[in-house]
Structure 1
């Protein structure tokens, strides 16, 4: 499978940036991922990401690390950080940017260590793919936590993307799935990725999934646009 995302990041890292990543989704929306934004430093990050990084402590696992911007900030603060991504290109960029500990692996195939803080930023919970895979995903993350460890994640309720009627209800397609499930394809310089599933989880749905798996779910912060930061911990 073409590492479209990784190639785009490698190009930027090596001074070959000429275009952004295009995304196509089952929401019938064409969008772009601006590559320079993925290389931002702490001051350029949204408040929610800044808050999560300030809450991180101990040994940290940064899942879906991308360019490693979050890992770099924490490493510079003296934390022991492991940057994990399934993209070869992402891991190469992280190494070139000076991140000491990197792992190339899908998260569900990783079980080599345990951590005090697990980060899933930029809607990292989306890696679960679909709502019916969320339980397995959460249980696996919980297995990587040390005693008193925490999972910090942000996500969005994408209900706002659907049409609203006069009484405030939303017109959601009745396709049998959860409305936050989206199928994406990425394109960069003529290369197209395989389609992949991504899930945006509203806070109530996340809370219910955590409850079913004996995980405590706390709302830390709400953003201005249906987004939120949550902290998950194991129930005693």
Structure 2
């Protein structure tokens, strides 16, 4: 059974039992880590990209992959917006509820069927949830089923092209290997290890083209310092 890695780590931190971080493993790269305190960051501790995303939220908000609930709490308490926070991690949702998120439920994006939202936010490389590029049509079709007409999606990602830059400035990837932003990871926390899972990084042009195809107006809302960006997608319901 796939363990609830994020839930276990978030619960430990909230119970003052923090002793180590989540380790992120990828087949072709060195191990990385996700510091658990970062999941509990205040608005002031958030990067400018996230602060920009929160400033653009309006109406009823669906926070997808909410983690420990830091974004939802800010929107609920400081912006006075009606926020629903969802995450596939039961442990994370339990902590969200204990922290005061008024509407927090265990659900994946595709299992969530309640509609009528003005804003959907997918942050901390929100495009990752798509998994593989071939799933992008399913992704946008489902988003439209959750939005009000003229509703918006705020999603961030990074263009991994820089990983394939050569010394002369050229760009080389193996086209036969698929889209270069498709990654596979697994997570380790203490004595628990997750299954391998797909995670998608999208360059902005690919995201924009797919969004336009599905009736969204896509605008670049923020560019970070390391190939990361925030996109604002408005659904023009025709």
1:115 aligns with 2:121: no
Partner of 1:70: 71
Partner of 2:139: 137
Q: Determine the C-alpha separation between the residues in 1 that align with 2:215 and 2:61.
A: 22
The Cα of 1:83 is off from its aligned counterpart by 0.4
Q: Determine the C-alpha separation between the residues in 1 that align with 2:113 and 2:90.
A: 19
User: Which runs of at least 4 in structure 1 moved beyond 6 Å after TM superposition?
Assistant: none
Partner of 1:36: 37
Q: Give the number of equivalent residue pairs.
A: 235
> Residue by residue, what CA displacement relative to the aligned partner does 1:183-220 show, whole Å, maximum 9, x if unpaired?
00000001000111000001000011112212211111
- Secondary structure at 2:83's aligned position in 1? strand
Contact preservation (8 Å) 2:7, 2:90: yes
The Cα of 1:134 is off from its aligned counterpart by 1.0
Partner of 1:162: 164
The Cα of 1:233 is off from its aligned counterpart by 1.0
Greater CA drift, 23-32 or 129-138: 23-32
The Cα of 1:122 is off from its aligned counterpart by 0.7
Q: Determine the C-alpha separation between the residues in 1 that align with 2:220 and 2:201.
A: 16
> Residue by residue, what CA displacement relative to the aligned partner does 1:94-136 show, whole Å, maximum 9, x if unpaired?
0111101012111011112320010011111210100000111
> Residue by residue, what CA displacement relative to the aligned partner does 1:123-161 show, whole Å, maximum 9, x if unpaired?
112101000001111110121111221101111001112
Q: Unaligned 5+ residue runs, structure 1?
A: none
Partner of 1:221: 222
The Cα of 1:174 is off from its aligned counterpart by 4.2
1:61 aligns with 2:62: yes
> Residue by residue, what CA displacement relative to the aligned partner does 1:44-93 show, whole Å, maximum 9, x if unpaired?
00111001101101100000000100000001021100000011111011
1:152 aligns with 2:154: yes
- Secondary structure at 1:141's aligned position in 2? helix
Contact preservation (8 Å) 1:27, 1:182: no
The Cα of 1:5 is off from its aligned counterpart by 1.3
Contact preservation (8 Å) 1:154, 1:228: yes
Greater CA drift, 137-146 or 191-200: 137-146
